[in-house]
Amino acid sequence: MNQIETAETHPGADPAEKPRLVETRRRIVVIEDDRDIADAMSYSLERAGFSVRIARTGEEGLDAVRRGADLVLLDLNLPGMDGLEVCRMLRRQPGSAHTPILIVSARGEEVDRVLGLEMGADDYLVKPFSMKELVARCRVGLRRLDARANGATGYVDENFEIEFDSYILRYKGEEIRLTHKEFELVRYMVERAGRVLTRERLLDRVWGQDADVDARSIDAHVRRLRAKLGPARHHVETVVGIGYRFVR
């Protein structure tokens, strides 16, 4: 839906000036090299009320997202830059680090789905799929984005009380002092409780481009974190050969 601003809504405006359209629809970038599939997705999404921009290559997709996107639909089999690399780059760019990414791919094996999610995708839809399901998945992704934007200010359960803005963590009423990065590590895991997080993903999302930290050194950071957590250390669980997860 578009809103129209006129001279009536702005008393000081020139009445002869034409109304100015203000785009209020959610913006979706479709990165898909198959023209028929891209056009079908675009048609269905436009009918559902979204604004859609199509990119045929990974490079075009990155540029389109930089110009503004609320959600990205990403194919994996792209010419030139592979879709997984596009996903990784989107997650490394500040402007798209939290933009929902929904992979749409003919690669349906479990290893492909797991890899896509580990690279930073929020959801994975295997081709062929119904357009109704695609639209529904997009709406779910955007609701999650809105929830993050509205922002949880903390986390509370029967054991933990965590204040994100104040960098305060209490376990069974006792405050545990953590460094900035230790707290960010806990926060990232708590916000994704129960999900397995690879060392590479923790590195990307907590340390970013810090050249002094590599994926294997995450183990040392987790050991120090567990030592400080003391009786709460068992809530940070090791998943052998993959990474870590927070368990309630």
- pLDDT digit string (tens) for 137-166? 999 888 877 766 666 678 888 889 998 878
CATH number of 154-246: 1.10.10.10
Q: Which of 198-202, 225-229, 232-236 has the lowest mean pLDDT?
A: 198-202
**Listed residue (108, 128, 137) closest to 40, CA to CA:** 128
CATH code of the domain made up of 2-150 = 3.40.50.2300
Gap between the Cα atoms of 137 and 72, Å rounded = 12
Q: Which region among 130-134, 153-157, 204-208 has the lowest average model confidence (pLDDT)?
A: 204-208
Q: Average pLDDT of the chain?
A: 85
Predicted confidence band of residue 171 (pLDDT cuts 50, 70, 90): very high
Cα–Cα distance for residue pair 105/127, rounded to 1 Å? 6
| Cα distance between residue 224 and residue 185, in whole Å | 12
- Alpha helical stretches, state H, the chain: 35-47, 58-66, 83-92, 110-118, 131-150, 180-190, 199-202, 218-229
- Whether residue 15 is predicted with pLDDT greater than 60 in this model: the reply is no
**CA-to-CA distance for 176 and 142, rounded, in angstroms?**
35
The type of residue at 208 is G
Q: Which pLDDT value is given to residue 203?
A: 86
The pTM for the full model equals 0.57
- How high is the pLDDT of residue 70? 94
Domain residue extents for the chain: 2-150, 154-246
Judged by average pLDDT, the poorest of 39-43, 112-116, 150-154, 207-211 is: 207-211
Is the model's pLDDT at 184 over the cut of 90?
no
At 156, which helix (H) or strand (E)?
A: strand 154-156
More reliable by pLDDT, 222 or 116: 222
Whether residue 16 is predicted with pLDDT greater than 60 in this model: the reply is: no
pLDDT of residue 4: 36
**Phi–psi pair at 79, nearest 5 degrees:** -70, 140
In the chain, count H helices and then E strands. 8, 14
Q: Of 54 and 92, which is predicted with more confidence?
A: 54
User: How many angstroms separate the Cα of 239 from the Cα of each of 61, 236, 246?
Assistant: 34, 10, 10
Indicate whether 6 pLDDT > 60.
no
- DSSP summary character for residue 26: P
Check residues 86 and 150 and name the one with the higher pLDDT.
86
Token pair 């992704």 is found at 141
Instruction: Give the span between the Cα atoms of 190 and 204, in whole angstroms.
Output: 16
The rounded percent of the chain whose pLDDT value lies above 90 is 51
Residues 242/186, Cβ–Cβ less than 8 Å:
no
Tell me if domain 2-150 and domain 154-246 are identical in fold: no
